[in-house]
Amino acid sequence: MKHISIAKQSLVAQSLAIEQMAKKLDGQFEEAVEAILECKGRVIISGMGKSGIIGKKMAATFASTGTPSFFMHPGEAFHGDLGMITPHDLVILLSYSGETEEVLRLIPSLESFGNRIIAMTGEEKSSLSQHSEIFLDVGVEREVCPNNLAPTTSTLATMAMGDALAVALIQARGFQPLDFARYHPGGSLGRKLLTRVKDEMHRAVPSVSQETSLQECLIAMTTGRIGMVAVIDDGVLHGLITDGDIRRGLLSNLGWECSKAKDLMTEKPHSIHEEALIAEAEELMHSHKIKALLVKNVDGDVVGVLEIF
């Protein structure tokens, strides 16, 4: 159990470090958020080593939540990638010590371009913080590493500060789930918020008339392979029969030979418009505990059925 004990100590120590960092937040954070909101170009993030890895994550988070952003490797920047920067861009430079050579070498060029610079470092008096317009303090008392050497707590603090910026920007921009989905069309949220019912529904709807016998209803249901049939006469929807309805009908001793669809159907079944979003359909189906939902077009005709497993 000693490993669990060490892990708990590590997690508690890191959470306390984040809590202390939160208490140190000041007007510089407000200035950083406002500077990013005022930026007419992109937010470019740069850092070496583990700071670079965090920078890539920050850029990805910003870009996916409404702040155009990309990561630029400081070494590659000094050998041509500086050409990707325009005077309208804002640059966030990451270096816990504030003295990373590759990062500091970027400053003269950025100053000549006229870019605003935000520094995220653990040293307020470092060269990086002194040459930046805005300083975000990510300093921690010590690393959770027992030798106080491996970047652990400091990297967590830097990432947490980046996430804090992202969250503040999300709130300031009024970024909504639908906006998020537009940038994540391949994810589950994108599917729910962008896909419409007509894109997912079965277009072949098994149907019977009100006078159809129980036996024929079963045949239509089995052939349709959806576990339901719509009861339609002359294009008008009268009801819906599910396999559950048939089981309940048989248990209530309805005569097999004389039972008709009208005796078994549920009148005024739930339905949804074909242009509705999948998210709306799922909410309706879950709230009413149904597995198949009839789909109608603008004229009120049944044009499909939606299944959600």
Q: Do 273 and 221 belong to one domain?
A: yes
Angle value at C-alpha 240, between 272 and 215, nearest 5 degrees: 150
Q: Do 43 and 97 belong to one domain?
A: yes
pLDDT tens digits for range 89-103: 999 999 999 999 999
* 192 located within any domain: no
What is the C-alpha separation between 210 and 229, in angstroms, rounded? 11
What is the C-alpha separation between 164 and 273, in angstroms, rounded? 40
> Mean of the pLDDT values across residues 75-81?
89
Q: At what angle do helices 49-64 and 153-173 cross, to 10 degrees?
A: 20
What is the C-alpha separation between 95 and 138, in angstroms, rounded? 10
* Count of domains observed in the chain: 2
pLDDT tens digits for range 9-33: 999 999 999 999 999 999 999 999 9
**In the structure, what pLDDT confidence band is assigned to residue 227 with cuts at 50, 70 and 90?**
confident
pLDDT score recorded for residue 307: 83
Q: Do 65 and 10 belong to one domain?
A: yes
> Mean of the pLDDT values across residues 151-176?
95
Q: Do 152 and 279 belong to one domain?
A: no
Single pTM value for the model: 0.70
Q: Do 293 and 211 belong to one domain?
A: yes
Q: Do 26 and 161 belong to one domain?
A: yes
pLDDT tens digits for range 116-141: 999 999 999 999 999 999 999 999 99
Residues in the chain: 309
pLDDT tens digits for range 245-256: 777 777 766 555
Q: Do 109 and 166 belong to one domain?
A: yes
**In the structure, what pLDDT confidence band is assigned to residue 286 with cuts at 50, 70 and 90?**
confident
pLDDT tens digits for range 41-57: 999 999 999 999 999 99
pLDDT tens digits for range 171-214: 999 988 777 767 766 666 666 667 888 988 888 888 889 888 88
Helices (H) and strands (E) in the chain, counts: 15, 12
* 279 located within any domain: yes
Any idea which residue has 């500086």 for tokens?
82
Pick left, alpha or beta for residue 225 (phi over 0 → left; psi -120 to 50 → alpha; otherwise beta): left
Say whether pLDDT at 168 is over 90: yes
Q: Do 161 and 17 belong to one domain?
A: yes
- Mapping DSSP to helix (H, G, I), strand (E, B) and coil, where does residue 158 land? helix
* 184 located within any domain: no
Q: 264 is in which domain, residue-wise?
A: 197-307
Q: Do 106 and 201 belong to one domain?
A: no
Say whether pLDDT at 258 is over 70: no
Helical residues (DSSP H) of 74-122, grouped into ranges: 74-77, 101-104, 107-113
Q: Do 162 and 239 belong to one domain?
A: no
CATH number at residue 218: 3.10.580.10
Q: Do 64 and 164 belong to one domain?
A: yes
* 139 located within any domain: yes
What is the C-alpha separation between 187 and 132, in angstroms, rounded? 38
* 181 located within any domain: no
* 252 located within any domain: yes
* 180 located within any domain: no
CATH number at residue 59: 3.40.50.10490
More confident residue, 282 or 61: 61
CB neighbour class for 138 (10 Å; exposed up to 12, middle 13-18, buried from 19): buried
Q: Do 116 and 209 belong to one domain?
A: no
pLDDT tens digits for range 287-302: 888 888 889 998 888 8
Among 143, 175, 207, which residue terminates a domain?
175
- Mean residue pLDDT of the chain comes to 89
* 187 located within any domain: no
